[in-house]
Amino acid sequence: MEYTGSQYIGEFVDGRMEGDAEYILPTETKYIGEMKDGMFHGQGTLYFPNGSRFDAVWEKGLVVKVSLNSPIWTHLERSLQAVTTAETASITRTRG
């Protein structure tokens, strides 16, 4: 999952992003959490430029559990948008 213009701060295992990390997307959305095999995996939080955040548990780049205490969950309409945004941000792109 590497986008042009992104910044990754963390470790690599066998050339893939792995472990506790910080990943900053070109949109200035920042992910802080666990990575495995180059994807969001485990506990992690997306921080959006507008100050909102999305706390979740990730599995192979997809959200599997959402923290309802996350400040972004204030209105149902916004929460559906947050899930879509989070899943879009975690799509894996292959190199080549």
Report pTM: 0.69
Residue 77 lies in a domain: no
By C-alpha distance, which of 57, 45, 59 is closest to 92?
Answer: 59
Where in the chain does DSSP place strands (E)? 7-13, 16-24, 30-36, 39-47, 53-59, 62-66
Residue 76 lies in a domain: no
Residue 89 lies in a domain: no
Q: Could you tell me the residue range of the domain that residue 63 belongs to?
A: 7-67
**Amino acid occupying residue 20:** D
pLDDT of the chain, 96 residues: tens digit per residue: 555 788 999 999 999 999 999 999 998 999 999 999 999 999 999 998 888 888 999 999 999 988 766 565 444 444 444 555 554 554 444 444
Q: What is the total count of domains within the chain?
A: 1
